[in-house]
Amino acid sequence: MDPAPDNPDPSAARRSWLRPALFLAVLVGLFVLARVLDLEGGLESVRSWIDELGPWGPVAFVGVYILATILMVPGAIPTIMAGGLFGAACGTVYASLGSTIGAALSFLIARYLAKAQVDAWLTKKPGLARIDQLTLTHGALIVAVIRMVPLFPFNLVNYAFGLTRVSFWRYVLVSWIAMLPGTFLYVAGTDVVLESLASGEAPLGLLAVVAVVLVGVVLLGRQAARRLRHVEAAEALEPTAYEESP
């Protein structure tokens, strides 16, 4: 078999820029919508409803987030709502809880409750077959890389990992850690936009933190994409590796 190429396909590296670019596009769109549609007024109504629920307000939000994840609602929607409703700190905690628990339940549904249906559905997406192959020998690494590099949609990956042999708790822990920076960016970025509109000036401290995290996500994404290419190149040289796995 021919050796792995010296310059692997750079598509994964290009996709490592997709998340920060999408994040900036979402913030610009949010700013425009907030100015045009009085988004702050609508959020205030939701805040009042959550306040009426008392300590159950955050619980209700996390529950809605979990359900949205299982139903494959785009994750950016409830994450942005977390920033608008609870601010950067609490919003990050609640969004992280919702996304992680939702991802865990989607994993369990695919593994134990609807394996045949999910498997048949995912076979129509041949690119996802790589996930199962790579997790045989690089479980935690592949979970982290795919969470940081948006090769596949977040909700789709939750179900796909349930069909692999990666352990449940490893999947949950690594997913939570790898998703946390992106969650913070969307929540804190939303808080920055809305606070800027409300007060007329940007919260410079929070804006600086968001900028630092954004740079970190870009660098980590590029490193993750590079690591993924190396893993795929190594696996291409060992065609029997998967057959030898238990």
Is 121 inside any structural domain? yes
Is 242 contained in some domain?
Answer: no
C-alpha dihedral sign at 125, 128, 132, 134: positive
34-63 residue pLDDT tens: 555 555 555 667 778 887 888 899 999 999
Is the residue at 137 inside a domain? yes
Tokens at 19, concatenated: 């998340």
Residue 131 lies in a domain: yes
Mean pLDDT of 202-214: 83
- 74 belongs to a structural domain: yes
| pLDDT for the residue numbered 61 | 92
Axis crossing angle, helix 76-108 with helix 39-52, rounded to the nearest 10: 50
For 111-135, the pLDDT digits (tens) are: 888 777 776 766 666 666 667 677 7
* pTM reported for the whole predicted model: 0.74
Cα 192 to the chain's mean position, in Å?
20
pLDDT of residue 169: 93
Asked whether residue 21 is assigned to any structural domain, the reply reads: yes
Question: Would you state the structure tokens that stand for residue 176, as one six-digit string?
Answer: 């939570």
Range of the structural domain that residue 157 is part of? 15-235
Residue 246 lies in a domain: no
At residue 128, the pLDDT reads: 63
Which one has a higher pLDDT value, 220 or 112? 112
Q: How sure is the predictor about 241, in pLDDT bands with cuts at 50, 70 and 90?
A: very low
**Domain total for the chain?**
1
